[in-house]
Chains A and B, each alone.
Chain A
Amino acid sequence: SSLTQVVHSAGRRFIVSPVPESRLRES
């Protein structure tokens, strides 16, 4: 989806996406 960004560093892939609302409310 457009909200997900993939970053590669030293052969490792990081997938960046918005924190689900439900998890934010938990904190």
Chain B
Amino acid sequence: AEDTGLRVELAEEGDCSNSSLALRLWVEDPKKLKGKHKDNEAIEFSFNLETDTPEEVAYEMVKSGFFHESDSKAVAKSIRDRVNLIKKARDKKPAGC
């Protein structure tokens, strides 16, 4: 959340073989967002490491009215940063977990 004002955390992780995750996103620093958004509300969503892209999820969040179009890049970046961290952590785990 250091630069986008948004925080994304892992809500639920399947086992390593499962590429689907549950992530949770909320606004940590409202001043860093340009458009209207819902304060104090966390949005939990599924994310498939193999088929989903952060940009696509951000677009759906904007379409659903959670964020303004002007913040979609920040939402996508926050999701991408967290997903990259999760992928790195998984790469470190022994094969077969």
Q: Which residues of A pack against B, CB within 8 Å?
A: 7, 9-10, 12-20, 23-24, 27
Nearest CB of chain B from residue A10's CB, rounded to whole Å: 5
Q: Which residues of B contact A (CB under 8 A)?
A: 1, 7, 26, 28-29, 38, 40-46, 57, 60-61, 63-64, 66
Q: Are the CB atoms of B40 and A24 closer together than 8 Å?
A: yes
Chain A residue nearest to B48 (CB atoms) is: A12
* Cβ contact within 8 Å between B45 and A15: yes
A-B contact pairs, 21 of them (CB 8 A): A7-B66, A9-B64, A10-B60, A10-B63, A12-B46, A13-B45, A14-B44, A14-B64, A14-B66, A15-B43, A15-B45, A16-B43, A17-B42, A18-B40, A18-B41, A18-B42, A19-B42, A23-B26, A23-B42, A24-B40, A27-B7
CB neighbours (8 Å) of A14 from chain B are 43-45, 60-61, 64, 66
Shortest B36–chain A CB gap in Å is: 15
Inter-chain pairs besides A14-B66, A15-B43, A17-B44, 11 sampled, C-beta below 8 Å: A12-B60, A13-B46, A14-B43, A15-B44, A15-B45, A16-B38, A17-B42, A18-B41, A19-B42, A20-B42, A23-B7
